[in-house]
Every structure is written in structure tokens, then in C-alpha cells.
């Protein structure tokens, strides 16, 4: 098989705080090949967004990033100068953010902002950038693209703005695209359209894609690989098939129980929930972070947690060899 | 944009009319103008003669209409004290004040905006603290004292700059600094606050994610959004400088319009006071109008509905 386009090993992100250091991301890793979609799943505060910002080199300055390996297309991202990172960002790796309403600059037209993304990395004239912008707006399903160029963000709806953001990320045909909860702020019907669009474009342009989400329904539809994050760790990862058919980690199984399945979940039936709250990540962590909420926790969970994996690459962190109850076919629609 | 401009223009005209009415009424609010002109020792018949001569016995609205139509032609009547046409008197003095005002606001903007941006780029560092110190000094020092200190240093000790008069450009350096430094702190702090707020915005992160350089992020993406309130503030301060630089004009003996206003008030020279009030108000109105236009240009949300 080909080399991975993105290789992340033992990534940690520390946030210095008044009361000590917050270990927001604690030694996570994954590999991603061209054309693959990795979904990072987890609840708010599990470190998903920080992980994507860390790959882009967009973490706030006071945060500390470390990794034993952080490579994009064989480029060591940890030893790139700011200038070199700028040449990669928006060019070979691009990002789509969660908040389409506020992610576009209110002072400039859509056209200006799309063209800027192209002109920053290509020594060509505006005409070419403009043609590219029109083509991409068409590609992301915006009608009358030509006339949209002179509009301002406040004249567009949330769904349209997110389409513009996607077009902007694609201006330089990136090899890696990171979408950080791209549909969270949108209506449910628009969510489905945007996700389908992203999945289609990813396939068509053969990009690697990281989709950060807390919506498992989304994951089931478009993921090749899934990484489940909890309290700054990847507690389980594997192919989408493995995660949904044979979830190993109690947290993953808990998440899957929370999803209603059309036709199977009866009206009024209690949906699953995971009791308790996410532990504080300030100070030193020991043992399994999930043990306080886990229904199969034991005393041993407070000490080191082994990492287990199958030959196919399905990996999880739990003291239980194989809690392997099947998921009873609970694949969300 | 055209509709917006016309609307603002209409508002400006209405405000101007209101102000003209108010400034004209001043004449009658400060007592009987005829006895004021006649002086303390005049007889009743003298006062009556003066009243008839100046037309103070006519109905108020007629007098206002008269005054306004002449004012529109640039005729503000005769100055009681200087015994010359008010318009000539003001034109002469206004050129000095306008030059000083333009220099002062330019000085304030050219120091305050870069300093505010620098402070916002590195909050709580030495740069930020220095900028804060400079602005607190500017806020705390009275203009008359700062002006005198400059005269002591640069005119008396070093003998580099003339202490008073308005003969050459050197005369305007110290007044510009004093006047500009007075306006600088507010502009600086507003720029800093605006930049800090804008730098936390999502679209700044988007610009960085595109691969834009830090300078481009600051000046193309952030500053344009941060300066909208600064423009409004600068417009008000510009109006203030053109109308109220009495202290600075007195210290440096620059006989501008501010100084003239002070003289005319002290001498009960009502036609001059009326004209000055109208003109000073016009400055505010014009600058507010211009700042509205500038802001509409800067922020499309104002101009494109």
C-alpha cells in the first residue's frame, strides 16, 4: 500500500493554566492515506478540534504541541518554519470550520475571499483565480456563481456560507482536508446536503479527509476509519465496519447505544445515555479516564491501561481483553 | 450606497437647520441685544434707535429668515467689536484653525493607530505597557501644561522652535503635538480594544488557515473591521479640534477661530458668536457625514442591506 499522507504519533497538547497544566490531548495517533476519510468522534472537550488545529499549525501560541511523529506528505510538520507552514496551509492542506456564520470576513466579498485563497499560493492573475472561484462555487452547488462573487457574507444563508467555505478550502486542490464539525451550526436538512457534498468532493478529488464530529449518524455514512476520542485520548480506532459491528471499548458502545435507529427504536423508548461527566484534565492523569463512568470498571482500571489491537488494526485501550458483545446491528441509518 | 448617502445627507441638512435656529436664538437669550450694543450709559432713545437700526423690533421668524438667507450667501453681518464683516474676520482666523486641526488629527491618527495595533498584537507585553503608559500620560496631562513644558524645552532651552505666532510651519509643530496628543489616547485605546476583539474572530482563523501572512491577517483582515468605531471617534475629535482648540491657540498665540470665539464671547460680539457656532456645528455635521460614508465603505453591512 501507499505511504500515509498524514501520520500522527503520540500527539500531546498541553494548555498551561493557573492551577496547573491541562493535558487536553494525551498521546493520540493515527495514519491516513490519500482518498481515505477518518472520522474523529467524541464529546465536547475531548480534544477533537485541538487535534485538527494542531495538524494545521493553528494552535494558539500559549498551547504546547509535541509528538513523536507529525508528518504530512513526508514533511515533518514539527520542524517547519512559520513561512513553510503558511505555504502548506490553504494550499496542500485546508480546513473547514464549524461556524459558517462567522468564519467569513464581513468586510470583503465572497469573490475577494475565494480569490485570495488561490492567489496566496499561485502566481497568477486575478482572472484565473476568478474563473477557479466560479468553477468551484458551481461544484459546491451554488447557482448563479458568477453573481455571487460580488455578494457579501451577510447576504448569504448559513448553508450557502458553508458551501462557500468548502469552495474556499478547495481553491488550491488540497491533498488533505480537515472539516471540524462542518454541519453542527446548520439545519438538519442542510446538514445532510453538506455532508453528501463533502463526501462526493473527497472521492472525486481523491483527497484525504478528517471529519471531526460528534454525530455518529454522519460517521456511519461516510467514514472509512473512525477514531473515538475521550478526555484527550483515542480510546478506540479502526475501520468504520469494525467500530460499528464490533465496538470494543465501553465508551464506544455507550455512544452507539445513544443513537435511535429508525424502525427499531420504539416511540417513547428510553435512549441510552452515559452517566457522569468528563473528568478534569488538569494535572497528572493515571489509569483509564473513563473508569468513573464505566459500567464494567474494576479497581485495576486506576492503573495503567493496556493498548490492545487485532491484526486488522482495530485498536482500543481497556483492561478487558474482549468485552466483545456484538452491537446487535445498531448501525445508525 | 446612493440611497444611504442621500438619507445621511438629508439628515445632515435637517441638523444644520436646527442648529442655525438655535444659534440665532442665542442672540435673544442673552438679554436685549440693542442695549448690549448701546452700552451701559446709553439713553432709552439711543437704545430704541439702535433697535430700529439693527431691525431687532421685527418678529423673530422674520429676523431669522433674514439672517439665514444672508448666512447662506456668506454674509454674517458686521462684527460689533472688530467693526468689519464677520465673514472676512472668520475666514482669516479659520484658515489657521483648520491647518492646526488637520495637522493635529493626522498626528493623533498616525501615532495612535499603529501603537494600538502593535499593543493588540502583543497584549500584556512591554509594547502594550509602553502604549498604555503613553496614552495615560496623554490623558492625564492638561494641554496647557504640556504646551508650556514644550515651550520651555524646545523654545527657551534648546531654542529650536518659535514659542508663539503663526508665521511659518515651525510655529505649528508644538501646537500640533499638543493638540494631537490630547486626542491620541482615546483613539489608541479604541484601536487596541477593537483589534483585540477582531483578532479573536473566526474569520481571522480562516485567514490564517488560508495561509495568509501575519501582516496580511493584521492589516487586511483585522484592521478594516476594527477601525469602524475609530473613524467615528476621530470624526468627533476632528470637529472638536476645529471648534475648541481655544487653550492650545491661546498658549501658542495662534490667533485662530477658537481664540476668536473666546474673544467674541468676552466682548458680547453676538454676530461673530452666532456665525462661529454655526460654523463649528457645520464642522461636526460634515465630519459625522464623512465618517458615516467612510464606515459604509469599510463595512458593507452598513451599505448593502
Strands A176-180 and A208-213: parallel
Cα(B1)–Cα(B194) distance, rounded to whole angstroms?
A: 25
Residues β-bridged to residue A213: A41
Per-residue pLDDT, averaged over B111-139, amounts to 92
* B203/A165 CB distance under 8 A: no
Cβ A114 vs Cβ A136: under 8 Å: yes
Q: Please report which helix (H) or strand (E) contains residue A40, including its range.
A: strand A37-41
In this predicted structure, the answer to whether residue B192 has a pLDDT above a threshold of 80 is yes
CB contacts of A90 in chain B (<8 Å) are 209-212
Q: Which three cell numbers stand for residue A246?
A: 464490533
Per-residue pLDDT, averaged over B1-15, amounts to 89
CB-closest option in A106, A117, A121 to B301: A106
CB contacts of A105 in chain B (<8 Å) are 203, 206-207, 221, 225
Q: How does residue B244 score in pLDDT terms, banded at 50, 70 and 90?
A: low
CATH code 1.10.3720.10 region(s) in chain B: 91-303
Residues β-bridged to residue B58: none
Alpha carbon distances (Å) from B8 to B34, B78, B86, B234, B287: 39, 34, 30, 18, 12
Per cent of chain B over pLDDT 90 is 39
SS (HEC) of A213-248: ECCHHHHHHHCCEEEEEECCEEEEEEEHHHHHHCCC
Mean pLDDT, chain B, whole residue set: 88
Cβ B113 vs Cβ B191: under 8 Å: yes
Cα(B71)–Cα(A101) distance, rounded to whole angstroms?
A: 51
Cα(A292)–Cα(A277) distance, rounded to whole angstroms?
A: 9
- What is the rounded (10 degree) CA torsion for B95, B98, B104, B106? -110
Q: For residue B231, what pLDDT is reported? A: 93
Please give the residue that has the higher pLDDT: either B241 or A153.
Answer: A153
- What is the rounded (10 degree) CA torsion for B151, B152, B155, B158? -140
Cα(A273)–Cα(A73) distance, rounded to whole angstroms?
A: 40
Strands A315-317 and A307-309: antiparallel
Closest chain B C-alpha to A164 CA, distance in angstroms? 12
Which of these ranges, A127-141, B48-62, B179-193, has the smallest mean pLDDT? B48-62
Residues β-bridged to residue A208: A176
CB-closest option in B210, B214, B298 to A90: B210
Per-residue pLDDT, averaged over B151-165, amounts to 87
| Architecture of the domain defined by B91-303 | Orthogonal Bundle (1.10)
- What tens digit of pLDDT does each residue of A45-67 get? 888 999 999 999 999 888 999 99
Cα(A90)–Cα(A121) distance, rounded to whole angstroms?
A: 8
Please give the residue of chain A at the shortest CA–CA distance from B216: A120
B 216-245 → A contacts, CB under 8 A: 221, 224-225
Please give the residue that has the higher pLDDT: either B78 or A95.
Answer: A95
Q: Which three cell numbers stand for residue B229?
A: 468605531
Q: For residue A333, what pLDDT is reported? A: 46
Q: For residue A329, what pLDDT is reported? A: 46
Cβ B281 vs Cβ B16: under 8 Å: yes
Tell me if chain B has a CB within 8 Å of the CB of A147: no
* A97/B225 CB distance under 8 A: no
CB contacts of A95 in chain B (<8 Å) are 209
- For the beta carbon of residue A84, count every other beta carbon within 10 angstroms: 13
In this predicted structure, the answer to whether residue B268 has a pLDDT above a threshold of 50 is yes
CB contacts of B299 in chain A (<8 Å) are 106-107
For A172-213, list the strands marked E by DSSP.
176-180, 208-213
Please give the residue of chain A at the shortest CA–CA distance from B200: A60
A&B contacts, CB < 8 Å: 69
CB-closest option in B212, B213, B300 to A107: B300
| Preferred mutation among B123, B124, B200, B206 to probe A, highest tally of A CBs within 10 A | B206
Cβ A166 vs Cβ A96: under 8 Å: yes
CB contacts of A106 in chain B (<8 Å) are 203, 225, 299-301
B 76-135 → A contacts, CB under 8 A: none
The predicted complex's ipTM stands at: 0.87
Question: End-to-end alpha-carbon separation of chain A, Å?
Answer: 31
| CA angle (B180 as vertex; B178, B185 as ends), nearest 5 | 105
CB contacts of B212 in chain A (<8 Å) are 86, 90, 116, 120
Q: What is the mean pLDDT of each run of 10 residues along chain A (333 residues)?
A: 85 88 90 93 88 93 92 93 93 92 93 94 92 92 90 92 93 94 83 87 92 85 91 91 89 84 74 78 81 83 82 84 54 52
Cα(A232)–Cα(A216) distance, rounded to whole angstroms?
A: 18
* A90/B205 CB distance under 8 A: no
Q: For residue B226, what pLDDT is reported? A: 93
Q: For residue A1, what pLDDT is reported? A: 52
CB-closest option in A58, A116, A120 to B205: A58
Q: Which three cell numbers stand for residue B12?
A: 445632515
Smallest Cα–Cα separation from A277: which of A25, A46, A27, A41? A46
Q: For residue B23, what pLDDT is reported? A: 83
Which of these ranges, A216-225, B206-215, B237-246, has the smallest mean pLDDT? B237-246
Tell me if chain B has a CB within 8 Å of the CB of A107: yes
Please give the residue of chain A at the shortest CA–CA distance from B222: A105
CB contacts of B195 in chain A (<8 Å) are none
- What tens digit of pLDDT does each residue of A115-141 get? 999 999 999 889 999 999 999 999 888
- For the beta carbon of residue A283, count every other beta carbon within 10 angstroms: 12
Strands A69-72 and A6-17: antiparallel
Amino acid at each position: 500500500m501507499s505511504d500515509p499522507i498524514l501520520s500522527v504519533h503520540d500527539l500531546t497538547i498541553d494548555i498551561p493554566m493557573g492551577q496547573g497544566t491541562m493535558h487536553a490531548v494525551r498521546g493520540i495517533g493515527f495514519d491516513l492515506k490519500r482518498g481515505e476519510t477518518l472520522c474523529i468522534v467524541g464529546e465536547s472537550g475531548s480534544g477533537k478540534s485541538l487535534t485538527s488545529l494542531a495538524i494545521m499549525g493553528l494552535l494558539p501560541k500559549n498551547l504546547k504541541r509535541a509528538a513523536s511523529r507529525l508528518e504530512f506528505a513526508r514533511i515533518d510538520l514539527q520542524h517547519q518554519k512559520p513561512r513553510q507552514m503558511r505555504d502548506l496551509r490553504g494550499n496542500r492542506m485546508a480546513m473547514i470550520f464549524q461556524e459558517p456564520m462567522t468564519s467569513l470576513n464581513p468586510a470583503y466579498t465572497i469573490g475577494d475571499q475565494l480569490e485570495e485563497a488561490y492567489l496566496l499560493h499561485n502566481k497568477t492573475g486575478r482572472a484565473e483565480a476568478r474563473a477557479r472561484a466560479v468553477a468551484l462555487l458551481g461544484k459546491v452547488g451554488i447557482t448563479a456563481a458568477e453573481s455571487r462573487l460580488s455578494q457579501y457574507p451577510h447576504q448569504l444563508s448559513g448553508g450557502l456560507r458553508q458551501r462557500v467555505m468548502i469552495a474556499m478550502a478547495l481553491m488550491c486542490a488540497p491533498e488533505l482536508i480537515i472539516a471540524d464539525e462542518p454541519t453542527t451550526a446548520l439545519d438538519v436538512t442542510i446538514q445532510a446536503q453538506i455532508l453528501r457534498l463533502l463526501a462526493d468532493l473527497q472521492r472525486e478529488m481523491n483527497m484525504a479527509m478528517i471529519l471531526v464530529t460528534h454525530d455518529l449518524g454522519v460517521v456511519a455514512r461516510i467514514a472509512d476509519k473512525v477514531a473515538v476520542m475521550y478526555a484527550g485520548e483515542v480510546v478506540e480506532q479502526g475501520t468504520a465496519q469494525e467500530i460499528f459491528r464490533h465496538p470494543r471499548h465501553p465508551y464506544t458502545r455507550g455512544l452507539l447505544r445513544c443513537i435511535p435507529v429508525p424502525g427499531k427504536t420504539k416511540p417513547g423508548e428510553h435512549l441510552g445515555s452515559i452517566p457522569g461527566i468528563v473528568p478534569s484534565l488538569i494535572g497528572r492523569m493515571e489509569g483509564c479516564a473513563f473508569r468513573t463512568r464505566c459500567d464494567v470498571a474494576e479497581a485495576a482500571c486506576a492503573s495503567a491501561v493496556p493498548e490492545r489491537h487485532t491484526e486488522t488494526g482495530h485498536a482500543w485501550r481497556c483492561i478487558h481483553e474482549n468485552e466483545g458483545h456484538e452491537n446487535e446491528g445498531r448501525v445508525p441509518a | 450606497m446612493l440611497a444611504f448617502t442621500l438619507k445621511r445627507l438629508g439628515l445632515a441638512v435637517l441638523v444644520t437647520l436646527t442648529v442655525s435656529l438655535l444659534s440665532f436664538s442665542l442672540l435673544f437669550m442673552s438679554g436685549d441685544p440693542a442695549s448690549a450694543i448701546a452700552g451701559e450709559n446709553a439713553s432709552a432713545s439711543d437704545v430704541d434707535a439702535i433697535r430700529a437700526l439693527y431691525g431687532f423690533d421685527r418678529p423673530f421668524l422674520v429676523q431669522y429668515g433674514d439672517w439665514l438667507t444672508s448666512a447662506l450667501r456668506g454674509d454674517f453681518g458686521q462684527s460689533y467689536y472688530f467693526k468689519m464683516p464677520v465673514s472676512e474676520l472668520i475666514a482669516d482666523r479659520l484658515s489657521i484653525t483648520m491647518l492646526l486641526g488637520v495637522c493635529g488629527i493626522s498626528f493623533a491618527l498616525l501615532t495612535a493607530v499603529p501603537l494600538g495595533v502593535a499593543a493588540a498584537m502583543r497584549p500584556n507585553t512591554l509594547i502594550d505597557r509602553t502604549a498604555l503608559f503613553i496614552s495615560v500620560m496623554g490623558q492625564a496631562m492638561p494641554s496647557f501644561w504640556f504646551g508650556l513644558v514644550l515651550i520651555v524645552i524646545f523654545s527657551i532651552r534648546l531654542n529650536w522652535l518659535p514659542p508663539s505666532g503663526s508665521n511659518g510651519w515651525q510655529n505649528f509643530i508644538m501646537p500640533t503635538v499638543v493638540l494631537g496628543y490630547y486626542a491620541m489616547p482615546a483613539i489608541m485605546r479604541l484601536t487596541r480594544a477593537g483589534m483585540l476583539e477582531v483578532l479573536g474572530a473566526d474569520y481571522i482563523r480562516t485567514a490564517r488557515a488560508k495561509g495568509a501572512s501575519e501582516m496580511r491577517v493584521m492589516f487586511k483582515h483585522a484592521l478594516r473591521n476594527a477601525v469602524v468605531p475609530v473613524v467615528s471617534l476621530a470624526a468627533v475629535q476632528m470637529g472638536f479640534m476645529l471648534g475648541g482648540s481655544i487653550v492650545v491657540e491661546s498658549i501658542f498665540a495662534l490667533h485662530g477661530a477658537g481664540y476668536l470665539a473666546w474673544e467674541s464671547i468676552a466682548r458680547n460680539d453676538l454676530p461673530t458668536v452666532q456665525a462661529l457656532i454655526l460654523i463649528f456645528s457645520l464642522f461636526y455635521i460634515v465630519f459625522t457625514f464623512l465618517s458615516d460614508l467612510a464606515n459604509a465603505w469599510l463595512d458593507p453591512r452598513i451599505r448593502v442591506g
